[in-house]
Structure 1
Amino acid sequence: MEPKFLVLARWTVWANRCLYDACAGLAQEEYYKRRSSAFPSIHLTLNHLLATDRIWLGRLSGDGHSIPSLDYEVCPDFPSLRLARGKEDDRLTGVVQRLVEEGRPSAMLDYISMDGRPQTMRVDLVLSHLFLHHAHHRGQVHCLLSQTDVAPPSLDLTYFPREGT
Structure 2
Amino acid sequence: MSKALVDCLRYSRWANLSLIDACRGLAAEQLDARATPSSRSVRQLFQHLVGSELTFVLRTKGRQHEGESRHVEATWPGLEVLREIVASSGDDLIAIAASLDEDELVALPYQGKTYEYPKSFFLLHAIEHGVEHRTEIKLTLALIGIETPDLDGWFYAPAAGYGREIAPRS
Fold shared, TM-score > 0.5 on shorter chain:
yes
> With structure 2 as the length reference, what TM-score do the two structures score?
0.77
The answer on whether the counterparts of 2:55 and 2:64 sit within 8 Å (CA) in structure 1 is yes
Separation (CA, whole Å) in 2 of partners of 1:149 and 1:164: 32
Separation (CA, whole Å) in 2 of partners of 1:164 and 1:50: 27
The answer on whether the counterparts of 2:18 and 2:149 sit within 8 Å (CA) in structure 1 is yes
Q: Secondary structure at the match of 1:150?
A: coil
Identity of aligned residues (%): 23
**Aligned equivalent of 1:90:** 91
The answer on whether the counterparts of 2:5 and 2:97 sit within 8 Å (CA) in structure 1 is yes
Deviation at 1:30, TM superposition (A): 0.7
**Aligned equivalent of 1:128:** 124
The answer on whether the counterparts of 1:107 and 1:123 sit within 8 Å (CA) in structure 2 is yes
Deviation at 1:63, TM superposition (A): 6.7
How large is the Cα RMSD of the aligned pairs?
2.9
Q: Secondary structure at the match of 1:40?
A: coil
Give 5+ residue unaligned stretches, structure 1. none
Separation (CA, whole Å) in 1 of partners of 2:24 and 2:132: 20
Residue type matched to 2:138 in 1? H
Q: Does 1:17 align with 2:17?
A: yes
Equivalent of 1:144, from 140, 143, 149?
140
**Aligned equivalent of 1:111:** 108
Deviation at 1:14, TM superposition (A): 0.8
Q: 1:126 to 1:9 in 2, by over 3 A?
A: same
The answer on whether the counterparts of 1:31 and 1:42 sit within 8 Å (CA) in structure 2 is yes
Deviation at 1:35, TM superposition (A): 4.2
Q: Does 1:60 align with 2:57?
A: no
How many residues align structurally?
158
Residue type matched to 1:85 in 2? V
Separation (CA, whole Å) in 2 of partners of 1:94 and 1:38: 36
The structure whose Rg is larger is 2
Q: 1:147 to 1:120 in 2, by over 3 A?
A: same
